[in-house]
Chains A and B, each alone.
Chain A
Amino acid sequence: METIYKDAFDVVTDVRALVNVPAIVSLLDGGKVEPSVKSTGASKRGIVVNCNSISNTSQQIGFGSINCYAPAISSTVDNKPVQLPDQQTLSNLAKAVKKLVDGVYANTFHIWIESLPVIMQDTDGSYFANMRFRYQSIQTNFKNI
């Protein structure tokens, strides 16, 4: 039997497939669900799925994030321009995504949200809702015992 194991590429592919569905894409205003990095600018909505680690054990345990981006809202406070997170869009996006990936038992893996969405700011100033997931898979034919 062929050895089946998951690396970070497989984790991102598996998780992205759960999120990259019409119900989510329609919320993105033309934005995309992308693996690992966001290719579009700060003015575009988007979702990025990434994987930080996956263990090489017979019961593989992986961790990663799903980041939901929404353009910041320009506002003026005390006569100064400020960029504020679009709370409502971020919240709606994050809630819609969480439903699709929390406690999913797929054929070759199992995933759940370990840490619920929080707002974070990216280096380009854009805001995103970050949720961390835990991913588990059984590696067949594991040899290092």
Chain B
Amino acid sequence: MNAILQIAWREYRQYVFSRGFLLFLILFPVGFVVGAVAFSWAERQLPTRHFAVFDETGLYAEAIDREIDILAARRSLSAWDTYLELAAKKDALDAAVEEDAIPEPFAPGPVTTERATAFVDAGGAQAAIAAVRPYLRDGAPAFMETSRGIVRVDLPASAASADSLEAAADALRPFLNGERPVIGPEGAPVDLFAAVLIPAGFTADGGDDAPEAQYWSRNLTDNDLRGAIARALDRALSREKLETLGVDADVLDDLLDTDAPIADFRPDRDEEEAELGVRDRVETIIPGVLTYMLVFIIMGVGNLLLTNTIEERSNKIVEILLSSVTANQLMMGKLIGIGAVGLTMPTIFVLVGGLLTFVAPGANELVGGIGSILFSTPLFAIYLFYFFCAYFIFAMIFLAIGAVSNSLQDAQSYMGPVTLSLFAPLPLVLVMYQNPNGVIATILTWIPIYTPYAVLLRVASDPPLWEILGATAFMLLFAYVLARLMGRVFRRAILSSGPVKLSEAFKLLVSRED
């Protein structure tokens, strides 16, 4: 046992105390933070898109302005809700909301057009900050207003005086191509991002022959503006139609701003616990995350096992090792050591996550939720059990491949099918996730190399117990037989001097031990 632990400890140290691993541990959270900061920075740095409208009808510019205002208000409200989530003292804020101490649009809630408009009408972010200031955490960062994003500018004089759509388009070309700037709302020159040209006769009653509105822009990927204009024109045309039908057009705004509230319930719970909350959503996501993590950890540590066995074999260290320990002890030591490497990373992330609950504002609820799901339910124990099973099955295969290969190049021919079979179920994860007790999930549960993934994905969906127990027993039997066979290949191939051909490896697999 001591020799196995010695080998395991050496393997573990070799990787975990290597510069590469430590660098990864530092870089991963740093990369995470940098990514998050970069994302939010990029969000705020989105350039303001300036556009102009040439409207021969003179009817639609106002509708477009209104839609753009709504878009900006919704964006601002969404940023405000996120800010409250992170910066406010939850209990104090909830109490204040309860007592109506905070104007309604400033309190957290669903992002609807009605609330967004009310938010702007009530004074926007500045007024909102003033209203919630007593309920913010100490040292909470200041709210950073989102940029408006889309701004309408006046047409350049040459286009404004155009007498046709074609002439307006021609006049706008140099501005749209960046050759000339237009004058922005604050009097400074700005680039013209797009132009909307609305022809005379653009109407709801035009039928199929009605002229089309034109959207001119060199940027075909940023569709926010195009979408807003399409919605604005849709709404304007709808209003026109309603008016022709004799219905008050403002009814349309009321109709479109209606957001039906829906709450989710589970029928298998008592009435007071039946409504789904954040915890339930996290609970359904965690198995999927764990499954993906499992696949990537196994691939990562499997590669470590492979390269490390190849190194010992090609460097001829293995014979010295085998004069000190048996081949089985060597195998076990490697399995334990590298398996521990595989568990180190998630363990560190869990610890860092736990630490974050004390230092990161607003992370308490989510991280606490994840923590309680992992540790107050059998999920974590189940995950560990199936992690070890999946790891053991694939690790034995990697070890045997390492034992028959003198270089990574030699190993490639064996690795192809193994990698393929390891990743094969990934495309089906979504299917299993959506239908955890369906046919595909059941089939994968009974294929021993996929049993761990399938069970992890299904465990939160109350699969039939007999099926899980049966498939697990079958998987354990498979793992035992595989360990015998792969162990045989390892023991018999590890000392050979050259790479072992496929046919020879097969012989080692099936022939009797010496």
Do A and B pair up? The answer is no
